[in-house]
Amino acid sequence: MAVTDYLRERFFPHIWCPGCGHGIVLNGLIRAIEQLGLSKNEIVMVSGIGCSSRISGYVDVHTLHTLHGRALAFATGVKLSKPELNVIVPMGDGDALAIGGNHFIHAARRNIAMTALVMNNRIYGMTGGQYSPLSGYGTIATTAPYTNIDQGFDVVALSIAAGATFVARTTTYHVKEISDIIQQAILHDGFSVVEILSQCPTYFGRHNRLGSAVDMMRHFKENTVRIGSKAAEEHPDRLQRGIFVQKEQPEYCVEYDKVIERARKTFRAQE
Ligand SMILES: Cc1ncc(C[n+]2csc(CCOP(=O)(O)OP(=O)(O)O)c2C)c(N)n1
Ligand code: SF4
């Protein structure tokens, strides 16, 4: 199938600004689904609110566009009732880790099988460039015109600490890597997190004088290195990309079924 077969073109033109990284993520996501040979009926995409969260409006699979920060809570309900479906949750950094931070750490801790995509542009794009927990110390935002003094989260470290069993990072510059990693994340039988550094030239880029969208993507290219590569050895200060964690652990829906079975047996024994 062609990429456009997965799109609801009736909702176009899309809302994204020229140069926004979110369209690149959508492209990588669709290619991953296509390469895995999944039918549209096998996929549920659940999202909250944000420029990034608009992805679920544009894809022609089962979709649920819910409340800001609550996508993982809705997705948990969907997955528990239909564990045979592949649940994918595209989120912005604000959606996933500010208002949705609690849902994020607990979904990771439970190891429920779904793929959380954190599209990290370090800002609240949709609402006008307020700083997020990913903006980082020393950055400028609409709500921090005299410099943001909050330290930022490290999405990878946070996900690992919360118990996610698949954790990866890539960027919008590395387009093939996006679809390769998302494929592995979808195949993983547990909670998978893929952080994708994405550019918001309109707010984060403009406030922080980072130049055009192309300049921002060049920055991703020049300041990240693949885990285990020679470049990573030579430049330990650069941000690492790739798969950090990929391990097996009991999956939540499978364990939940066992609880139901135990309860049924106890109930029958009492009859
Ligand atoms: C309960 C609630 N609080 C606040 C908002 C306003 N709001 C909508 S999107 C958003 C932040 C979007 O930022 P992010 O999730 O990082 O995505 P981006 O737009 O940058 O892709 C906020 C604060 C809302 N819709 N609902
Ligand atoms: S405001 Fe930023 S995140 Fe939103 S569409 Fe524009 S460039 Fe993308």
Per-residue pLDDT tens digits for 70-80 = 999 999 999 99
Cβ–Cβ under 8 Å, residues 114 and 191: yes
- Tell me the three state secondary structure of residue 69: coil
What per-residue confidence (pLDDT) applies to 144?
98
| pLDDT over 90 (residue 157) | yes
Cβ 55 under 6 angstroms from ligand 1: no
* Ligand minimally distant from the alpha carbon of residue 68: 1
- What pLDDT, on the 0 to 100 scale, is given for residue 271? 83
d(CA 192, CA 168): 8
Distance 239 CA to ligand 2 centre (A): 23
CA distance 10 to 228: 44
Contact between residue 195 and residue 244 where contact means Cβ atoms under 8 Å apart: no
Provide the pairing of β-strand 191-197 with 224-226: unpaired
Provide mean pLDDT across the span 82-92. Answer: 98
248: left (phi over 0), alpha (psi -120 to 50) or beta: beta
Q: Ligand 1: does its nearest atom lie under 6 Å from the Cβ of 121?
A: yes
As a whole number of Å, the CA-based R_g of the chain is 19
pLDDT tens profile 208-230: 999 999 999 999 999 999 999 99
- Listing DSSP states for 216-249 in one string gives HHHHHHHHEEETTSHHHHH-TTSEEEEEEEE---
Which ligand is located closest to the Cα atom of residue 14?
2
Query: What does pTM read for this prediction?
Result: 0.97
pLDDT at 66 over 80: yes
100 in contact with ligand 1, CB cutoff 6 A: no
DSSP class of residue 201? I
Ligand 2 center–CA 156 separation, angstroms = 23
Q: Residue 203 carries which DSSP code?
A: I
Percent of the chain whose predicted confidence (pLDDT) is above 70:
100
* C-alpha span between 265 and 253 (Å, rounded): 18
Is the shortest distance between the CB of 132 and ligand 2 below 6 Å? no
Helix (H, G, I), strand (E, B) or coil at 37: coil
81-104: average pLDDT: 98
Q: Per DSSP, what are the bridge partners of residue 114? A: 191
- Mean predicted confidence (pLDDT) in 168-172: 98
Q: 185, exposed or middle or buried, with CB in 10 Å at 0-12, 13-18, 19+?
A: buried
**What is the mean predicted confidence (pLDDT) over 23-47?**
97
Q: What is the C-alpha separation between 90 and 193, in angstroms, rounded?
A: 10
Check pLDDT > 90 for residue 168. yes
Confidence of residue 109 (pLDDT cuts 50, 70, 90): very high
114 Cβ closer than 6 Å to some ligand 1 atom: no
**Residue 48 pLDDT > 90:** yes
Question: What is the predicted pLDDT for the residue at 1?
Answer: 77
**Structure confidence at residue 156 (pLDDT):** 98
Output the pLDDT for position 3: 85
How does residue 18 score in pLDDT terms, banded at 50, 70 and 90?
Answer: very high
User: What's the mean pLDDT when you consider all of the chain?
Assistant: 97
Count of beta carbons in the 10 Å neighbourhood of residue 118: 28
pLDDT digits (tens, 9 = 90+) for 117-148: 999 999 999 999 999 999 999 999 999 999 99
Kind and range of the H or E run holding 29: helix 22-36
Please tell me the residue having the least CA distance from ligand 1 atom 10: 50
The model's confidence at residue 111, banded by pLDDT at 50, 70 and 90, is very high
In this structure, the residue with its CA closest to atom 5 of ligand 2 is 16
Q: How far apart are CA 47 and CA 51, in angstroms?
A: 11
